């Protein structure tokens, strides 16, 4: 009989996803801290937590209210260029929204900044694979349908989710425990202004996010005036999904820029959570969890 995964407590306390040091990490980073400066840019009139020097990856489970729990869960991956994590704008606030539609949010705090000598995605992808396995292996006890676990990412976190969705469900690190015996492939993905999904102006394709027949149903949104993510790369990824017959819903808004999270502004792009909820509803992801209510 395989060993159980790590004991995980639901609630406000984050849970370490690695029992010891994360794979390949040698230490030497400074103390984990919010790097936001007092004069930092505001988003919708509010500051953003920019967490840096993450060497101890965790998940924090925001469980959907029992009365409205749909059984669906989403692993939330904040962005930050693989240098920092926008932990509130693209993390806790997103989990709170997911709870409002009956979805359990699982906030992933993955390793940043980029590790010297490793590809930018390498360490974060290990963390995401491990986190997805932990969620799936504990699904029943957490009131989650193990076949309705998706992933949502912003900017670099969107590239991370696309890489997680491009895999076979196997791991890029040696097995740790029974949580690594289940698939880490998301059942659906939501990509919000996702970074580096495809070639732009003659650049090479990104092999880490290559679309296959295993890539799950996808919802995507980006603004045409995004100064960081070329909309053409997202359009190209949507075309690849369509070519592979992967169900995809793609929203291209004329304005909104980059890094808005889900804070409402005058730009219609910030209504994307309503569109995403509609998409999840049409896919049967916002129905009641089996046996959860009469």
Q: How far is CA 106 from CA 37, 73, 74, 230, 256, in A?
A: 27, 7, 6, 28, 26
pLDDT 10s digits, 81-95: 999 999 999 999 999
> Interior CA angle at 27 toward 168 and 92, to 5°?
60
d(C-alpha 254, C-alpha 252), whole Å: 7
What are the residue ranges spanned by the domains of the chain? 34-282
What percentage of the chain's residues is helix, strand, coil (to nearest 5)? 25, 15, 55
With b for 16 or more beta-carbon neighbours within 10 A and e for fewer, the 270-282 pattern comes to: bbbbeebbebbee
- Cα–Cα distance measured from residue 177 to residue 241, given in angstroms and rounded to the nearest whole number: 33
Which residues are registered as beta bridge partners of 272? none
- Report pLDDT for 78: 98
Question: Please, are residues 193 and 222 in contact by the beta-carbon 8 Å criterion?
Answer: yes
List all residues 6 or more positions away from 234 whose beta carbon is below 8 Å from its beta carbon: 191, 193, 194, 197, 198, 220, 222, 250, 252
* Core vs surface per residue 145-158: b (16+ CB within 10 A) or e: bbebbbbbbbbbbb
Q: Among 63, 68, 62, which Cα is nearest to 87's?
A: 62
pLDDT mean by block of 10 residues, the chain; 294 residues? 48 84 86 88 91 96 95 98 97 97 97 94 98 96 96 98 93 96 97 91 83 96 96 94 96 97 96 98 82 42
**For domain 34-282, which architecture applies?**
3-Layer(aba) Sandwich (3.40)
Q: Identify the pLDDT of residue 288.
A: 61
| Confidence at residue 4, expressed as pLDDT on a 0 to 100 scale | 43
């Amino acid at each position: 009989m395989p060993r159980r995964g790590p004991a995980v407590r639901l609630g406000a306390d984050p849970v370490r996803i690695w029992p010891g040091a994360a794979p390949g990490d040698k230490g030497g980073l400074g103390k984990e801290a919010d790097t936001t400066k007092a004069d930092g840019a505001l988003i919708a009139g509010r500051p953003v937590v920019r967490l840096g020097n993450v060497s101890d990856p965790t998940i924090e489970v925001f469980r959907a209210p029992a009365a409205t729990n749909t059984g669906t869960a989403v692993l939330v991956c904040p962005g930050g260029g693989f240098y920092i994590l926008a932990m509130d704008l693209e993390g806790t606030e997103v989990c709170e929204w997911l709870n409002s539609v009956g979805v359990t949010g699982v906030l992933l705090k993955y390793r940043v900044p980029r590790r010297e000598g490793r590809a930018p995605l390498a360490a974060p992808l290990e963390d995401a694979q491990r986190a997805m396995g932990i969620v799936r292996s504990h699904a029943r006890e957490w009131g989650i349908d193990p076949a309705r676990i998706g992933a949502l990412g912003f900017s670099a976190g969107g590239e991370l989710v696309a890489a997680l969705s491009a895999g076979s469900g196997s791991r890029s690190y040696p097995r740790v425990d029974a949580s690594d015996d289940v698939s880490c492939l998301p059942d659906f993905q939501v990509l919000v202004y996702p970074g580096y999904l495809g070639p732009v102006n003659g650049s090479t394709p990104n092999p880490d996010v290559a679309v296959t027949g295993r890539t799950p149903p996808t919802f995507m949104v980006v603004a045409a005036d995004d100064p960081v993510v070329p909309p053409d790369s997202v359009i190209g990824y949507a075309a690849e999904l369509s070519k592979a017959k992967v169900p995809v819903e793609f929203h291209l808004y004329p304005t909104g820029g980059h890094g808005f999270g889900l804070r409402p502004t005058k730009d219609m792009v910030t209504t994307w959570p309503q569109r995403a909820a509609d998409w999840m509803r049409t896919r049967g992801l916002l129905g009641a969890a089996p046996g959860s209510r009469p």
